[in-house]
């Protein structure tokens, strides 16, 4: 089977270009510049890389980017005070508090302190409820990026069997809601699912979001299915030299690409789409704020 590689890198560049054009028009016509504030607490290396990339791409799209880096031992009260300041700042249209937060913080309390209209992650309980009831909301960036790639590949998703592996609040649950919204028949599988291989074999669309390197082999994939791999896992790569590593997804790419109709690579699939959707959400928040 000839599999189609879904090029998230190219798709994301296109989305960022479109966002950039609309930002330029907003500035020319109304003198408004969308602003995104990213808050990072602590020094998690992966989070630092994400935050740097977000800042760079925000500026490249013509938006204002503000970064707040707080020490790992910052109190929750101080973080909530910063969120309140950003909520009240009219030059900031999007607020993202990078997760995970240190253990001494109540993640839900922090997220729910963000003005829902500025919650470009779509994690605030109001946005979760709006999405779950099919109302206009801020949509979490990673599932939104997956949906855009699926719509681009399939056109209509109506009636397709979709299996989402993973039930996280950030990816699995909102992904299931979005697929339901596009009239898929949705199954959410997780670590307690019985006969996971058979469940996955039913799927026309597989979204893998568990965070376990290469756990979905090709013989779980129905021939011709579309595979969206959300995982980003670092594994040893002795073939590249001693101590070297490489990035792999939650899907075993080599065997899955033999049977899938279309598949996203890691890296270069879902990852770039996440930041592109963050920029799109920031633009959306800015337009709604000034409407």
To the query of whether residue 27 is one of the catalytic residues in this protein, the response is no
Q: Which stretch binds ligand GUN (CB under 6 A): 52-60, 92-100, 188-196, 263-271?
A: 92-100
Q: Does 99 bind ligand GUN (CB under 6 A)?
A: yes
As a whole number of Å, the end-to-end CA separation of the chain is 49
Q: Does 121 bind ligand GUN (CB under 6 A)?
A: yes
What is the torsion angle, in degrees rounded to the nearest 10, for the CA atoms of residue 271, residue 228, residue 96 and residue 12?
50
Q: Which is nearer to ligand GUN, 115 or 121 (CB)?
A: 121
Q: Pick the binder of ligand GUN from 96, 147, 178, 221 (CB under 6 A).
A: 96
232 annotated as belonging to a binding site for a ligand:
yes
Separation of alpha carbons 201 and 56, rounded Å: 40
Q: Does 98 bind ligand GUN (CB under 6 A)?
A: yes
Q: Does 142 bind ligand GUN (CB under 6 A)?
A: yes
Q: Which is nearer to ligand GUN, 121 or 252 (CB)?
A: 121
Q: Which stretch binds ligand GUN (CB under 6 A): 52-60, 90-98, 127-135, 206-214?
A: 90-98
How many residues touch ligand GUN under the rule CB under 6 A: the total is: 8
Separation of alpha carbons 121 and 256, rounded Å: 30
CB 192 within 8 A of CB 212: no
Residue holding tokens 């700042």? 89
Separation of alpha carbons 168 and 183, rounded Å: 21
- What number of other Cβ atoms are within 10 A of residue 89's Cβ? 14
- List all residues 6 or more positions away from 81 whose beta carbon is below 8 Å from its beta carbon: none
167 annotated as belonging to a binding site for a ligand:
yes
Q: Which stretch binds ligand GUN (CB under 6 A): 70-78, 96-104, 207-215, 248-256?
A: 96-104
184: its two tokens = 């898929």
Q: Which is nearer to ligand GUN, 99 or 117 (CB)?
A: 99
CB of residue 210 vs ligand GUN: minimum separation in angstroms?
14
Q: Which is nearer to ligand GUN, 103 or 195 (CB)?
A: 103
Q: Which is nearer to ligand GUN, 40 or 260 (CB)?
A: 40
183 annotated as belonging to a binding site for a ligand:
no
Q: Pick the binder of ligand GUN from 12, 170, 208, 256 (CB under 6 A).
A: 170
Candidate list 54, 118, 173, 222, residue with the active-site label: 54
Name the nearest CA neighbour of 57 among 276, 274, 288, 277. 276
CB of residue 203 vs ligand GUN: minimum separation in angstroms?
24
CB of residue 251 vs ligand GUN: minimum separation in angstroms?
19
| Annotation: binding site | 166-168, 232
Binding annotation for NADP(+): 166-168, 232
- Which residues bind to ligand GUN, rule: CB under 6 A? 96-99, 121, 141-142, 170
Catalytic residues: 54, 98, 121
């Amino acid at each position: 089977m000839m599999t189609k590689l879904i090029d998230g890198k190219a798709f994301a560049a296109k989305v960022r270009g479109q966002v950039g054009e609309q930002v330029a028009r907003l500035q020319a016509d109304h003198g408004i510049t969308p602003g995104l504030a990213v808050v990072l607490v602590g020094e998690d290396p992966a989070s630092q890389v994400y935050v740097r990339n977000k800042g760079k791409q925000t500026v490249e799209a013509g938006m204002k980017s503000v970064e707040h880096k707080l020490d790992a031992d910052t109190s929750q009260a101080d973080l909530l005070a910063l969120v309140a300041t950003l909520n009240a700042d009219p030059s900031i249209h999007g607020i993202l508090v990078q997760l995970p937060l240190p253990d001494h913080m109540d993640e839900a309390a922090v997220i729910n302190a963000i003005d829902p209209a500025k919650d470009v992650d779509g994690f605030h309980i109001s946005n979760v409820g709006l999405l779950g009831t099919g109302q206009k909301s801020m949509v979490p960036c990673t599932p939104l990026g997956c949906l855009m790639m699926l719509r681009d590949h399939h056109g209509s998703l109506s009636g397709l069997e979709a299996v989402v592996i993973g039930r996280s609040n950030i990816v699995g649950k909102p992904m299931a809601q979005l697929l339901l919204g596009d009239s898929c028949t949705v199954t959410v599988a997780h670590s307690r699912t019985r006969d996971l291989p058979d469940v996955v074999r039913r799927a026309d669309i597989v979204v893998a979001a568990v965070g376990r390197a290469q756990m979905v082999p090709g013989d779980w994939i129905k021939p011709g299915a579309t595979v969206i791999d959300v995982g980003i896992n670092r594994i040893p790569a002795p073939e590249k030299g001693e101590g070297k590593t490489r990035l792999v997804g939650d899907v075993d790419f080599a065997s899955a690409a033999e049977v899938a109709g279309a598949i996203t690579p890691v890296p270069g699939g879902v990852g770039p789409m996440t930041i592109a959707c963050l920029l799109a959400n920031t633009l959306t928040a800015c337009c709604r704020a000034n409407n």
